[in-house]
Amino acid sequence: DGGITQSPKYLFRKEGQNVTLSCEQNLNHDAMYWYRQDPGQGLRLIYYSQIVNDFQKGDIAEGYSVSREKKESFPLTVTSAQKNPTAFYLCATAGGVGNTEAFFGQGTRLTVV
């Protein structure tokens, strides 16, 4: 089945811990993205990668890190430096005309306890 798989669906983090959110795709898309969603704020871009071994900061990259060692995978680490990490995190790939059409995973809800 083609698509984007995010895991886990729910994640709980203690204060001061780093956690890694997984995103895997089998759509053969070059571009991958991480968005953060908070109520009433839409989606904000954290990091993006246009190609393997390359990635760029988005609008709210502070406190996050990523890697892109394989085309299929784009994990996001939420570090202890992120002061307000509780949110819904969405991974997306891009394809279609101009590689601008975004395809989304089902999301990971991260809660700090």
Partner 1 sequence: AQSVTQPDIHITVSEGASLELRCNYSYGATPYLFWYVQSPGQGLQLLLKYFSGDTLVQGIKGFEAEFKRSQSSFNLRKPSVHWSDAAEYFCAVGAVRTGRRALTFGSGTRLQVQP
Beta carbon nearer to partner 1, 19 or 23? 23
99 binds partner 1 (CB under 8 A): yes
Binding-residue pattern over the window 5 to 34 for partner 1, x denoting contact by CB under 8 A: -x------------------------x-x-
Reference 45, options 12, 91, 77; nearest CA is 91
102 binds partner 1 (CB under 8 A): yes
Residues in contact with partner 1 by CB under 8 A are 4, 6, 31, 33, 35, 40-43, 45, 48, 50, 56, 58, 88, 90, 92, 94, 96-107, 109
